[in-house]
Structure 1
Amino acid sequence: MIYRFRAILDHDNEDDIFRDIEIRETDSLEDLHNAITQSFGFDGLEMASFYVSNEDWEQGEEISMFDVSEGHDTIRTMSETLLNTVVNQSQTKLIYVYDFLSMWTFLVELAEIIEEAEGTDYPNLMFVHGQIPDTAPEKTFETENLDDDFNEFGDEMDTDDYEDLDFEENWN
């Protein structure tokens, strides 16, 4: 079977920027990663991850390009994860983040499952809408609940007052 995905750049602009991609259900997430990066004009050399998502586009389990867990936990990698083990008719949404310094973020949704068309090469870029900006859209985060006087250590020490910290001037 063939999965038809729509990958939408997550940004605040009015114009949608997306790509429609067909890919075999038995291809890996690495194959989808390559199809997305090529369709948006990236070189594909930066780190990236997929995240399983729910109906509210909340980020779930990470599936990364490489296992960077250093043996502490097992992590799924794109090359070892087939599309049909992550995405199906009831689980249709993924979040894709490319280049963790720029944070290009895409909402990837399974739109349709169809029969394979004879003579078609997959992955297949079906449709292109909009041009990707030169730089990744800035993310805005809700900060109304953050306390400006947050002290991560939970003590009464004023972290802006360095004179009372008992460091020698040339401690290094």
Structure 2
Amino acid sequence: MIYRFRAILDHDAKDDIFRDIEIRETDSLEDLHNAITQSFGFDGLEMASFYLSNEDWEQGEEISMFDVSEGHNTVKTMSETILNVVVDQTQTKLIYVYDFMNMWTFLVELAEIAEEADGTDYPNLMFVHGQIPDSAPEKTFESENLNDDLDEFDDEQDVDDYSDLDFDENWN
């Protein structure tokens, strides 16, 4: 079977920018990563991760390019994760972040599952809409109670006064 994904540059972009990509359900997330980077014109050399997502596009479990946990945690990697294991008709959304310095963020959604077409090479870039900007869209973080949150800090606290803390100042 073939998965048809739409990869949309995050909603903070000024214009709609997306790519429609076909890929085999038995390909890995690394294959999808390569298809996305190539379709948007990236060199693919920067770190990237996929995150499972729910219907509200909330970030869930990370699936990274490499296991950098040094054996401390069990980490899923893109090369070892097959698409149909993490994506299906009930779990259709992924968040993809490319280049953690610039935070290119894409909303990736399974749009359709179809039969493989004879004579088609996969992954297949089906449709291109919009041009990628020169730099990643800036993230805007909004909070209704931002000023209220800031008011809870005590501006009168003396940061050099250690008398109320539970440690010996001369501990070493």
TM-score by length of 2: 0.86
Alignment partner of 1:91 is 2:91: yes
Q: Percent sequence identity over matched residues?
A: 84
Give the alignment's Cα RMSD to 1 decimal: 1.8
Q: How does 1:11-160 map to 2 (within 5 A)?
A: 11-143=11-143, 144=146, 146-147=149-150, 150=153, 158-159=158-159
For the residues of structure 1 that align with 2:153 and 2:119, how far apart are their CA atoms? Answer: 61
Listed as ranges, the gaps of 5+ residues in structure 1 are: 166-172
TM-score normalised per structure 1: 0.86
1:58 maps to amino acid: E
Q: Are 2:12 and 2:140, in contact at CA under 8 Å, matched by a contact in 1?
A: no
Amino acid at match of 2:150: D
> For residues 110 and 45 of structure 1, what CA distance do their matches in structure 2 show?
25
CA offset at residue 64 of structure 1?
0.2
Segment of structure 1 superposing worse, 9-18 or 99-108: 9-18
Q: Which runs of 4+ in 1 moved over 6 A?
A: none
Aligned residue pair count: 158
What is the distance in 2 between the residues matched to 1:50 and 1:133?
Answer: 21
